[in-house]
Amino acid sequence: MSDSRITLEQVRHVARLARLELAPEEEGALQNDLSAILTYVDKLNQLDTSAIPPTAQVGEIGVPMRADEVLNAPAAEPMLANAPARQDHFFRVPKIIE
Amino acid sequence: MSGELFRLTIAEARDRLVRREISAQELTRACLDRIAELERRLNAFITVCPREALEQAAAADARLARGDAPALCGIPLAIKDIYLTRGIRTTCASKILGNFVAPYDATVIARLREAGAVFVGKANMDEFAMGSSSENSAFGPTRNPYDLTRVAGGSSGGSAAAVAAEECLAALGTDTGGSIREPASFCGVVGLKPTYSRVSRFGVIAFASSLDQVGPFTKTVRDAAIMLRELAGSDPQDSTCSARPVPDYERALTGDIEGLRIGVPREYFVSGMNPEVEESVRTALRQFESLGAKLVEISLPHTDYAIATYYIVATAEASANLARYDGIRYGLRVDADNNIELYNRTRARGFGAEVKRRIMLGTFALSSGYYDAYYLKAQQVRTLIRRDFEAAFARCDLIATPVAPTTAFRLGEKTADPMQMYLSDIFTISVNLAGLPGLSLPCGYDGAGLPIGLQIIGAPFGEEAMLRAADAYENSGACERRTPPLRSAA
């Protein structure tokens, strides 16, 4: 079985992509855990899949159609009720542009 | 009169409610009292809803008095905390949704309301349904009613434990890689994962969208058939949901399985399996033979690749589905000077260790330079796994296997090693990858008195044959129904 150890730099890169701030001890633990899982996953390379199409969909093929109509009434207040921060009918966020 | 009403099955309660021998309010109070008595030991619920439940029960009694009793009128259910329930806190067992109150109902929740059901509470689970033991809950683990030092299984462990301990008559779970069947096996109840697309997932918090499916936990196979009929059916809000007509599954329970061909895959009886589990499953297979079924040896040659395939496909989909938890519109927010830092800190604080691990793995598998090697490869192997089942079902009508290689393990036994935890799903995961229906059915107990589960796998939309076989086995008396001791083993 090949060794699919990933580097600390890769862990940090993926964390940036995933929008996750990691503590230094989390980075080390994830490096070990992901390396172990990816080494296990390497067993897939024992199989020749060059002529095998990937599964794109399970269940029934085809997409059911319906009329393009609004089904849900506007409900700003219930949707804003869970907002961590709001102002009037808006979600409040940190300033994005100067 | 209300003594031990919580012991009823749905079918029994339905008859007594319709005859007005008991009221929905008495039945609901019996379950709520039971919850109050047991919860400190079990932790099967994240939120208990006595006020809402008693209101629903009063409404059910009014319908019963009018003679207008739909299928689940007055039946107390537990709902896994992954379903949006309007006006009731919905956490997915995560700190990131700790204060989230659902603004609308999931389609299946709306259907259950129409069918007259009563919701006693929101059941505990692994955070975002990621786990096999319910230990990954931000609200503490659920304990197994057969031995409080052991896990209830996962991810739907709260639902399984609540039904086993009779805190409700039935429950809803979800199953992405075994999350209904494994806890059903560990807790000695019936757990049904329907065919992919049989049941709407609108309003069910998404984990891995090509694998997730809704299903019930019940005390009997008949009750599972009753529940499935109410849950199944097309939904304009879920384009992945099948438009096929929904049969009356209860009518499929004829007891007749003469000539039924049951496939037994040789790859599912492997070394490392607990010998008591193997013996119990083999005894159950002989019982099916004595009921008139024929056993057929089959092969599912790519079984050994299922877990590796699953942990790439499921985590890739999860990393995309969980991108929405950013602290902007709902849920936890950790403030920062700019949006990117706000996302980073909110997600760091809000997600638990296993959820972070899976987001990281899935993001890696989809990232530039690795997509072909991991995600594409896994989806190709998934095709091979599906073809295994297609070939097998040319030779048999159902497939029977163990649900899990062991009985319930101890709390903390596998938390330090993610790979060991993942391997508990070795017999259930292929079924999700292939989109098939699967059912977990109690078939015995090990020497310590812990339940053992038999898995019956059907062809796509083969729920009727699956339920008929399971019902015939259950009624043959081959496996006694026990009452869990609700204490720690010595």
pLDDT tens by residue, B170-209: 999 999 999 999 999 999 999 999 999 999 999 999 999 9
Q: Residue for token digits 């260790």?
A: B353
Helix and strand numbers, DSSP H then E, in chain B: 15, 13
Phi/psi class of residue B402: alpha, beta or left (left: φ > 0; alpha: ψ in -120 to 50)?
Answer: beta
- 3-state SS, residue B455: strand
**Distance between CA atoms of B194 and B432, rounded to whole angstroms?**
10
Question: In this structure, what token pair is assigned to residue B317?
Answer: 């989909």
> Mutate which of A7, A14, A35, A40 to test chain B, going by most B C-beta atoms within 10 A?
A14
% helix / strand / coil in chain A, to the nearest 5? 40, 5, 55
Q: Is B179 a catalytic residue?
A: yes
Q: Is B155 a catalytic residue?
A: yes
Cβ–Cβ contact B305 with A under 8 A: yes
| CB-nearest partner of B435 from A22, A58, A66 | A58
Q: Which residue of chain A is at minimal alpha-carbon distance from B237? A: A71
DSSP one-letter code for B376: I
CA–CA separation, B360 vs B363, rounded Å?
Answer: 5
Chain A, chain B: beta-carbon pairs less than 8 Å apart = 169
| pTM of the full structure | 0.97
Under an 8 A CB cutoff, do B333 and A84 touch?
yes
Cβ–Cβ contact B201 with A under 8 A: no
* Calpha distance B182→B455 (Å, rounded): 9
Instruction: Tell the residue number behind the tokens 């709407």, with chain if given.
Output: B200
The B residues from 216 to 255 touching A (CB cutoff 8 Å) are 234, 236-237, 239-244
Instruction: Grade residue B1 by pLDDT with cuts at 50, 70 and 90.
Output: very low
Token digits of residue A83 = 């907002």
Which chain B residues touch A81 with a CB distance below 8 Å?
101, 103
Interface pTM, i.e. ipTM: 0.95
Per the CB < 8 Å rule, is B236 touching A44? no
What is the spatial distance between Cα B422 and Cα B308, in angstroms, rounded to a whole number? 10
**Where are any strands of DSSP class E within B266-370?**
294-298
DSSP string, B159-182: HHHHHHTTSSSEEEEEESSSTTHH
| Residue from B23, B156, B159, B179 carrying the catalytic annotation | B179
Q: Are B222 and B471 in contact (CB under 8 A)?
A: yes
How many helices (H) and strands (E) in chain A? 3, 2
Q: Beta-carbon neighbour count of residue B112 at 10 Å?
A: 27
pLDDT value of residue A63: 77
Mean local confidence (pLDDT), B359-364? 98
Query: Which uninterrupted H or E stretch holds B109?
Result: helix B107-114
- Residue B420 sits at the chain A interface (C-beta within 8 Å): no
B242/A22 touch (CB, cutoff 8 Å), yes or no: no
Nearest Cα to Cα of residue B147 among B442, B445, B455: B445
Residues of chain A with pLDDT under 70: 1-3
Whole-number Å distance between alpha carbons of A7 and A2: 15
Given a contact cutoff of 8 angstroms between Cβ atoms, the answer to whether B479 and B443 are in contact is yes
Residue among B302, B327, B345 whose CB faces A84 most closely: B327
At B207-262, the pLDDT tens digits run 999 999 999 999 999 999 999 999 999 998 999 999 999 999 999 999 999 999 99
Tally the C-alpha atoms within 13 A of residue B164's C-alpha that lie toward its C-beta.
37
